[in-house]
Amino acid sequence: MRASNADRERVAQILHNALSEGRITVQELEERLDTVYAAKTLDELQPPIADLPGVTPGAAVQAAPSHEVDTRLGGIPGSQTSIAVMSGASRKGNWVVPPNHNSFAFWGGVDMDLRDARFAERHSTITAVAIMGGIDIIVPDDIIVDVNGIGFMGAFDTVNKGAVAATPPPGAPVLKVTGFAFWGAVTVIRKPRKRRLEN
């Protein structure tokens, strides 16, 4: 059976999680991702994750229904910037993440919580720049996250907190976090989505 983009992204997220857990190296990640993104069939997606614990390759690469639409997509995009200069800025609650969002902190801090957010489009990018400041981005564990920023005398990290899911559901939103940290930190924190109380 032919593999879809959603199938490839689901397997790629498993590999990113394996890197964050120290199970594979950056070089191994790059090699395996090359195989994943070149895969044309579901069978070709199995070898890159076959040696990872807790992963059932056959189940992990099952085809996603082509008609599946994520309910978190759509809406009028919110602000494209979050700026904190010797101060603080916050984005949380029910807001719509635009396709491109720029976050900047200089001697200040930006807190972003995407657990109750919607996404204007399936693919979004947050460019985070922290100079002698900090940017914390909390993301739910049911979206696909790709973090590839640079830290210079600073940190650009991904952290898992709580019982996070191993793989997001098919058709999940895809968030890329990129940018630069100089004498500061950009931290992407994966947490389980907030459970809402039902009356």
Domain ranges of the chain: 1-60, 75-194
42-58: pLDDT as tens digits: 889 899 998 887 665 55
Per-residue pLDDT averaged across 111-139, rounded? 93
Contacts of 45 (CB under 8 A, 6+ apart): 3, 7, 8, 11, 36, 39, 57, 60, 61
* Predicted TM-score (pTM) above 0.75: no
Backbone angles phi, psi at 152, to 5 degrees: -120, 110
Query: pLDDT band for position 67 (50/70/90)?
Result: very low
pLDDT of residue 107: 94
- Alpha carbon distance, N-terminus to C-terminus of the chain: 43
The residue among 150, 158, 160 whose CA lies nearest residue 188 is 158
